[in-house]
Structure 1
Amino acid sequence: MSEPIEEPELPAAEPVPPSRWRMQLVWLVPIVAILIGGWLAVKAVMERGEEITISFKTGEGLEAGKTKIKFKDVDIGVVDTVSLSPDHKRVIAKAEVVRDVANLMVENTRFWVVRPRISGGTVSGLGTLLSGSFIDVDAGNAAKARREFVGLEEPPVIASDVPGREFTLKGVGLGSLDVGSPIYFRRLRVGQVASYQLDPDGRGVTLKVFVNAPYDQFVRTDARFWHASGVDMSFGADGLRVETQSIVSIIIGGIAFESPPESRVDTGAAAGTQFTLYPTRDDAMKQHDRIVDRYVVVFNDSVRGLAVGAPIDFRGVVMGEVKAIYTRFDPATNRFSIPVEIEIYPERFTSRYQDGQAGGRVTDDPRRMANYLIEHGFRFQLRSGNPLTGQLYLAFDYFPDAPKASIDWSKTPPELPATPRALQSLQDSVSRLMTKLNNIPFEAIGKDARDTLRTTNSMLAQLDKEVVPKARDTLGSAQSALDSANAALQPDSSLQQSTEDAMRELTRTAASLRTLSDYLAQHPEALVRGKPEQKP
């Protein structure tokens, strides 16, 4: 009988309690979803751009979610919202720019809306007619960051990264200039007008101009700027002269600059240097004298044709100009006079640039020199500068017949004597002659002449009655005497024959006397002894 098979003993099962921390597979999916969502959120926050606020005067061209912000034609952001400011005076555009360009949002960064514009002879923004308006950016270079900006209403003429220098011009008027008007140097366009504004006192305008590199090096410290708008015409010894910069400057205006021809300055002007803006090139290139003496010349005759700015001529050399013209009434004499205020430039009498040195006065005692000139007959006189227009100028010259005069140094400015012009002197002479003629008693003279004529007529009538018949008889007798004399002088008359015989006798007598005279000249002793007898 077979033995029974022994089965192995199995270990006893021991119960194990379930763990509280064991993760169920069912929770794996939501956990992964949460992690992905968190990562996306963090990524979105990290990639979120910088928010900026730009205020504009109007909302033209701005549209939320569509208007882009561009820098060098690259999209760097978009406008999120467009709303009005709390005071309803401006439009607030909130935008988001990419984080990579956040460092461009600094103090002097500028924003403006690009739309079609025509300014300063240039047309810009035509591409926005199809693509729509956008906000352009001019990146600044400041160190301080900024997130709120005030947008420009007009695009800046000069970008921040354009090399060159900006200068300030002071002028009397703007003329035909505008933002973007060209700046010329030797008829080359080298810059443009950046901005302009009226001075606080209202007496002029201030312009900011930008000259591009490398032309900015030619703006010397003695540079002269002038309006290049229109056409400058002048008549000279060589005929008509016409000057202009370009056709563009004639239409939209412009500014030109240049250093004086005799300039020896090589130093470039620093950025921001202020210059004067002159109306014309001739005004800009005038000598700018350091020494100016102010006087007054008093005229008693008319100054019609004399204008402020008229030159003062000394034998062909301009030595000054007229600054003001007034009228003055003298209660003591009850007469009007015309004081003309002038400026004299003593440097014009010396070599201004002799040996590279600036000129000065002729003498160290200008009063003594002025007194000497006036005492020796130098005077101011009005003369015609242009017979066609009637313009006058002041001439300072020597007049030997001028009455004695002196300078009144007690007045400010001192008064210098003048002499009437030649035409005025002629008029004065004619006036004096007419005064003398008016003093002649022509009426009494006429009455006397009528009485004399009446007496003469009476005498002529008496002569016709008494004297004329006697005169007629006398003339008849004279005619008879003349007829008798004429008959006596006929060739066949007895008087004529007797006269011829007498003349022949006189001729023979004269011949005998001549023979006697010759003989006595040879034999003077004959007067005592007589003529000797001739021997046989």
Structure 2
Amino acid sequence: MARPPDSPPPELPEALAVPRSRWRVQWIWLVPVVAVLIGVWLAAQAILQQGPTITISFKTGEGLEAGKTKIKFKDVDIGVVKSVALSKDYTRVIATAELTRDASRMLVDDTRFWVVRPRVSGGTVSGIGTLLSGAYIGTDIGKTKRERRDYTGLETPPVFASDVPGSEYVLKSDDLGSVDVGTQIYFRRLQVGQVTSYELDPNGRGVTMRVFINAPYDKFVTPNTRFWHASGVDVTLNTEGVKVNTQSLVSILVGGLAFQTPPDSPDESPAPAHTTFQLFGDRTEAMKMHDRIVQTYVFNFKESVRGLVVGAPVDFRGITIGEVSAIHTRFDPITRQFSIPVEIRLYPERFTSRYESEPRGGRLTRSPREMTDFLVSRGMRAQLKTGSLITGQLYIALDFFPNAPKAEVNWDRDPPELPTVSSGLQSLQESVTDLIARMNKIPFESIGKNAQQTLARADALLQNFDSQLVPQARDTLTAARATLDSANTALQPDSALQQDTADAIRELSRTAASLRALAEYLERHPEALIRGKAESGK
């Protein structure tokens, strides 16, 4: 309805002033707040997911690159190298690496790290894949519980991982030979382990090696097991012919080790881990009988021992019962003479009977001193003999010499001294010397003068023979030649002698025919001897 023109305008409501709130939320700020919250949440998640940071020290930074070199365990990435720097003394390279959160439990005290790159060691080749992908850091988890964050990297990869079943042993040797880290170990020509490390002994007199035998082959290593170098080819010449022994072609080229327990050894339980064994030079030396009882004696020789060396055998009728351990010289101030005392190691167990009904091993008698005195009284002596005419090597032979001068064992010396006799070569030399001395006594000068006089007389006789007898002999030979010519002429077919001889033979043939006819007539008419031949026709 329209308002009348003369009516007053309606009153407007009074506006009330409301003060503006200072804390009024502006929706425009909601977006950055949400973004900040998301950033904080992501940062928190990143911090919570971030793994530990470790440092690894190496001798060289070969193959290490910051931001690229990975850290792997069983070919799975567990971290990356963040930086590579030199140590404060510039002797090492410090690689700082960040690992994943799941790798935290791997960082214990005996965890190992090494750079994986192409390597050739002990006849094995490793790390070939890094030629294309690049080097990386390998990891082997330890077994301790103590945590650690700084490590010293290995310069060579470990031969076996810590989770590989098996046992580790220690070998002692005089030298390293052709052994290297990773060298294969064989058992009955099967590869059963490897050499893990080696080091020179503190006194410098030998080498200590550590080897790892994989399970289940480690159960065949007993306290009596023998280890030996299986490098190259072992050639043996005996009555059965030539035998060639080797473990494999790899062992011939790069070397190897082998082990075995002697067949006559008693059944024993496996040797504990880290047991120490002696490493022998070859199988023959390793498998030979090792004596438990050793007695030391001295043989005092007064002749040359050239050709006798340490290790030469001591022989008793063809059986080796000991070996030479040392050779010395001795000067006797009373007699002012030199002698050569030779120290030997004697193995009494080798005298013991080996019949199955009797116990093996042990001493020959409970009283070695009494037995030795008895044998010496029966003539047992030591003598040098030649073992090879080609090399001139000597050995010591124990045998009985009933005609040897009486002698006793000198038990006052340490070690005891046993009597000896001179060798056959020494006796031959003395005989030759005596023969030469006798020959020197022969008056060769007088004999030579008499021989010259005899030759002069013979020469004069020959001259006389030439001047007198030769012409007569020449005339005799001429007459003999003439006689032979006459005889030859007479024997010619057309000669008179031959014709007369032929006529005589014919006459003799006619005479023989007449006599045959007469004999036949008398045989028919024996009365003709009295009456005579009857007239024909009567």
Q: Same fold (TM over 0.5)?
A: yes
Task: Work out the CA distance in 2 between the residues paired with 1:291 and 1:84.
Answer: 60
Judge conservation of contact 1:176–1:252 (CA < 8 Å) in 2.
yes
Q: 1:73 to 1:431 in 2, by over 3 A?
A: same
The one of 252, 255, 260 equivalent to 1:253 is 255
Alignment partner, residue 274 of structure 1: 276
Deviates further, 317-326 or 380-389: 380-389
| Aligned residue pairs, count | 449
Task: Work out the CA distance in 1 between the residues paired with 2:116 and 2:437.
Answer: 81
Q: 1:440 to 1:139 in 2, by over 3 A?
A: same
The one of 307, 327, 330 equivalent to 1:328 is 330
Judge conservation of contact 2:383–2:421 (CA < 8 Å) in 1.
yes
SS of equivalent residue, structure 2 residue 387: strand
Q: 1:386 to 1:444 in 2, by over 3 A?
A: closer
Matches within 5 A, 1:10-409: 21-351=23-353, 359-409=361-411
Task: Work out the CA distance in 1 between the residues paired with 2:306 and 2:402.
Answer: 26
Alignment partner, residue 502 of structure 2: none
Shift of 1:47: 1.1
Task: Work out the CA distance in 1 between the residues paired with 2:118 and 2:341.
Answer: 57
Shift of 1:276: 0.4
State the Cα deviation string for residues 505-527 of structure 1 (Å, max 9, x = none). Answer: xxxxxxxxxxxxxxxxxxxxxxx
Q: Which runs of 4+ in 1 moved over 4 A?
A: 9-22, 351-358, 439-447, 449-453
SS of equivalent residue, structure 1 residue 226: strand
Task: Work out the CA distance in 2 between the residues paired with 1:15 and 1:452.
Answer: 179
Deviates further, 11-20 or 239-248: 11-20
For structure 1, the 5+ residue unaligned runs are 1-8, 458-536
SS of equivalent residue, structure 1 residue 49: strand
Task: Work out the CA distance in 1 between the residues paired with 2:51 and 2:406.
Answer: 91
State the Cα deviation string for residues 40-88 of structure 1 (Å, max 9, x = none). Answer: 1111111112101001000000000111111111111110000000000
Judge conservation of contact 1:227–1:254 (CA < 8 Å) in 2.
yes
Task: Work out the CA distance in 1 between the residues paired with 2:433 and 2:363.
Answer: 43
Amino acid at match of 1:153: E
Shift of 1:90: 0.4
Amino acid at match of 2:386: S
Alignment partner, residue 476 of structure 1: none
SS of equivalent residue, structure 1 residue 427: helix
The alignment yields a C-alpha RMSD, in angstroms, of 2.8
Judge conservation of contact 1:221–1:265 (CA < 8 Å) in 2.
no
Task: Work out the CA distance in 2 between the residues paired with 1:236 and 1:136.
Answer: 52
For structure 2, the 5+ residue unaligned runs are 1-10, 459-538
Alignment partner, residue 493 of structure 2: none
Judge conservation of contact 2:297–2:343 (CA < 8 Å) in 1.
yes
Task: Work out the CA distance in 1 between the residues paired with 2:49 and 2:354.
Answer: 71
Judge conservation of contact 2:352–2:360 (CA < 8 Å) in 1.
no
Shift of 1:286: 2.2
Asked if 1:426 is matched to 2:440, the reply is no
State the Cα deviation string for residues 450-485 of structure 1 (Å, max 9, x = none). Answer: 9999xx99xxxxxxxxxxxxxxxxxxxxxxxxxxxx
Deviates further, 146-155 or 304-313: 304-313
- In the superposition, the TM-score normalised over structure 1's length comes to 0.78
State the Cα deviation string for residues 319-374 of structure 1 (Å, max 9, x = none). Answer: 11111222333343343322211000111111479679652212221111111111
Task: Work out the CA distance in 2 between the residues paired with 1:389 and 1:234.
Answer: 19
Amino acid at match of 2:224: D
Shift of 1:21: 4.5
Judge conservation of contact 2:114–2:139 (CA < 8 Å) in 1.
yes
Q: 1:35 to 1:127 in 2, by over 3 A?
A: same
Amino acid at match of 1:51: T
Task: Work out the CA distance in 2 between the residues paired with 1:154 and 1:227.
Answer: 23
Amino acid at match of 2:52: E
Shift of 1:383: 2.1
Task: Work out the CA distance in 2 between the residues paired with 1:358 and 1:399.
Answer: 30
Deviates further, 36-45 or 78-87: 36-45
Q: 1:450 to 1:193 in 2, by over 3 A?
A: closer
Alignment partner, residue 4 of structure 2: none
Task: Work out the CA distance in 2 between the residues paired with 1:100 and 1:352.
Answer: 66
Q: 1:236 to 1:368 in 2, by over 3 A?
A: same
Task: Work out the CA distance in 2 between the residues paired with 1:342 and 1:282.
Answer: 22
- In the superposition, the TM-score normalised over structure 2's length comes to 0.78
Task: Work out the CA distance in 2 between the residues paired with 1:49 and 1:87.
Answer: 29
Amino acid at match of 2:383: Q
State the Cα deviation string for residues 20-57 of structure 1 (Å, max 9, x = none). Answer: 54433233222212211111111111111210100100
Amino acid at match of 1:138: D
Q: 1:58 to 1:361 in 2, by over 3 A?
A: same
